[in-house]
Amino acid sequence: MTAGEKIPLDGEVIIGSSQIDTSALIGESVPHSVNVGETVLAGTINKTGVLDIRVTKLFGESSISKILDLVQNASSKKAETEKFITKFAKIYTPIVVFISLAIAIIPPLIIPNATSAEWVYRALVILVISCPCGLVISIPLGYFGGVGGAAKRGILIKGSTFLDTLLDVKTVVFDKTGTLTKGAFKVSVIEPTNGFSKDELLSFATYIEAQSNHPIAQSIKDAYLSNYGRELDLAKVTNYEEIAGHGIRAMVEDKLVIAGNDRLLHRENISHDTCKVSGTVVHVAIDKKYAGYITIADQVKDDAAQAIQTLNQMGIKTIMLTGDNKGVAADVAGRLGLSSYVAELLPEGKVEAIETILKGSGKKEKVAFVGDGINDAPVLARTDVGIAMGGMGSDAAIETADVVIMNDSPAKVAEAIQVGKKTRQIIWQNIWMALIVKGIFLILGTFGVASMWEAVFADVGVALAAIANATRVLK
């Protein structure tokens, strides 16, 4: 693929690197860098380099195809207001027709000097004024505008009914990894002791972890490279041994180095006074002497704290459910300002936790769940509103969810709720405007004050004004 071409199908880069414009798909204006081994999505545009891409999904399974399907089927799930107006029009229209017939026929028969022409004219005026097209057209258009306006912001809502449901959300439950955090480990603390320096601690830990492909080992290697910018001489590492469930032991030049969890220190009878450390920790000992520990943490997404703060300001309770340990969960919850959290959950445990939250909510209070993994799909289906991270989320989560956030930004959750509120506000403005204007002109028409020109304004003018008002939700 050369620069300027649109990527037709989802795939994986096998040769080359480039900048990809993803604005059409997820609304992010800044180009995204891709290299060999990374995934690219259909509908995005190759901006700079030349790429060889291996197709990984057929068009029917691609991201752009799913988006089109969501748009095409968005109207199949109508909101309650939309359903009410449709039913109202079915009852209202025949009633208005019979009232107009009565006005045209009865007054000339019972009122002296009344002419049929005058009352037929009044009946026609009332018939034109009473036309419900202003309501019937503008309200569905308002919901479609809400769905379209959300899509422009990178939020795909699978039907107007979910715009209404979002208004009543009083609790938002988040998954942790991949939702509030990036799912990528990074060294956060290097804590040496017993006379060792940070450089020594990190260097020995990197030597011993260098041969492992574990994400924790990779994060330690990345920290070393970012600090020193040079590779290690792995020829210095001998007698490498992995101890299942504990850690690693090896010789680095003439020193015995072990790195692992607290159980490994006890197994090797190494004296230490640091056992409980919050987060994921790697303890290091050199020649049977405790050298310190390195803490590795999942990186919190840049806008996660702001997202939680915005929801809290809106009076919405925020809860985190995670399978991670309590120490990590407590650290993330504290940094983000979450109302509460539940840790060490299996997939079925998340469903049970959601059931408890749903039972504790009021009758009109809705619960939303935000997740990205395959294990989140049952919870997304169980809650009142399921919100999936669509950028890196699993296909199962995206298919099950009612709302899909294309750029994986937690801040979009509050934005989706705000779009729902704005949509409802505009729709009720249209309803009241149409009813008040039509009511005034019906009275004027009945007494013969309103002419056909006023009737046309009360019908077409109100419809156009309502439609124009409905388009504001797109902005």
- Measured over the CA atoms of residue 57, residue 61, residue 63 and residue 64, the dihedral's sign is positive
Domain shared by 80 and 113, yes or no:
yes
The answer to whether position 6 is within a domain reads no
User: Which pLDDT score, from 0 to 100, does residue 331 have?
Assistant: 83
pLDDT tens sequence for the chain (475 residues): 788 888 888 889 998 888 787 655 543 444 667 888 888 888 788 887 888 989 988 877 766 666 555 444 544 444 455 556 667 667 777 887 888 888 888 888 888 877 888 888 888 888 887 777 777 777 778 888 888 888 888 888 887 788 888 888 999 999 887 888 887 778 888 888 888 888 888 888 888 888 776 667 888 888 888 887 777 777 788 888 887 667 888 888 888 989 888 888 888 888 887 767 766 788 899 888 888 888 887 788 888 999 999 999 999 999 998 877 787 788 888 889 998 998 877 666 788 888 888 888 877 888 999 988 766 777 888 888 889 887 766 676 787 788 889 888 899 999 999 988 888 888 888 888 888 887 888 788 777 777 787 788 777 888 888 888 878 877 7
Distances (CA, A) of 315 to 140, 212, 310, 388: 29, 46, 9, 22
Degrees (nearest 5) of the Cα angle 234, 237, 238? 135
Q: Would you tell me how many other CB atoms lie within 10 Å of the CB of residue 20?
A: 22
Cα–Cα distance between 327 and 40 in angstroms, integer?
35
Measured CA to CA in angstroms, residue 421 lies from 90, 162, 314, 433 at distances of: 27, 11, 12, 18
Task: Please report the pLDDT score of residue 212 as a whole number.
Answer: 74
- CATH code, domain carrying 49: 2.70.150.10
Q: What counts of helices (H) and strands (E) characterise the chain?
A: 17, 19
Asked if residue 69 belongs to a domain, the reply is no
Whether 70 is in a domain gets the answer: no
Query: Is the domain of 173 the same as that of 191?
Result: no
Please indicate, yes or no, whether residues 289 and 306 belong to a single structural domain of this protein: no
Angstrom distance (rounded) from CA 23 to CA 7: 13
Say how far residue 84 (Cα) sits from the centre of its chain: 29
User: Both 310 and 287 in a single domain?
Assistant: no
Classify residue 2: in a domain, yes or no.
no
CATH code for position 351: 3.40.50.1000
How far are the Cα atoms of 94, 389, 404 from residue 392, in angstroms, in the given order? 52, 7, 11
Q: What is the DSSP string of 66-79?
A: HHHHHHHTGGGS--
Residue 125 lies in a domain: yes
Q: Are residues 267 and 285 in the same domain?
A: yes
* Same domain flag for 218 and 280: yes
Question: Which of 376, 397, 418 marks a domain boundary?
Answer: 418
Its domain, for residue 38, covers 11-59
DSSP state at residue 402: S
Res 21: pLDDT: 75
386 and 317 within one domain: yes
Q: How many structural domains compose the chain?
A: 4
Are both 346 and 327 inside the same structural domain? yes
Task: Assign 3-state DSSP to the chain and report helix, strand, coil percentages, each to 5.
Answer: 50, 20, 30
- What CA–CA distance (Å, rounded) separates 259 from 248? 5
Tokens of 463: 């419809």
How would you class 289 by CB atoms within 10 Å of its CB: exposed for 0-12, middle for 13-18, buried for 19 or more? middle
Same domain, 318 and 412: yes
Write out the E strands in 115-236.
Answer: 155-157, 169-175, 181-192
Asked if residue 310 and residue 168 are part of one domain, the reply reads yes
Residues 120 and 103: their CA atoms lie apart, in Å, by: 7
**Token pair in block for residue 370:** 């935000």
Check whether residue 368 and residue 394 sit in a common domain.
Answer: yes
Of 255, 284, 299, at which residue does a domain stop?
Answer: 299
Burial of 25 (0-12, 13-18, 19+ CB in 10 A): buried
The pLDDT of residue 78 is 44
Is 389 buried (19+), middle (13-18) or exposed (0-12) by CB count in 10 A? Answer: buried
The token duo for 458 is 């009360």
Query: Would you say residue 3 lies in a domain?
Result: no
Answer with the one of 264, 299, 334 that is the final residue of a domain.
299
Q: Would you please indicate which residues are annotated as catalytic (active-site) residues? A: 175
User: Following DSSP, what letter does each residue of 235-260 receive, concatenated?
Assistant: GGEEEEEEETTTEEEEEETTEEEEEE
CATH of the domain at 230: 3.40.1110.10
Any domain includes 97:
yes
Instruction: Phi first, then psi: give them for residue 33, nearest 5 degrees.
Output: -80, 135
Quick check: is 313 in a domain? yes
Claim to verify: residue 206 and residue 261 sit in the same structural domain: yes
pLDDT for 161 equals 81
| pLDDT reported for residue 209 | 83
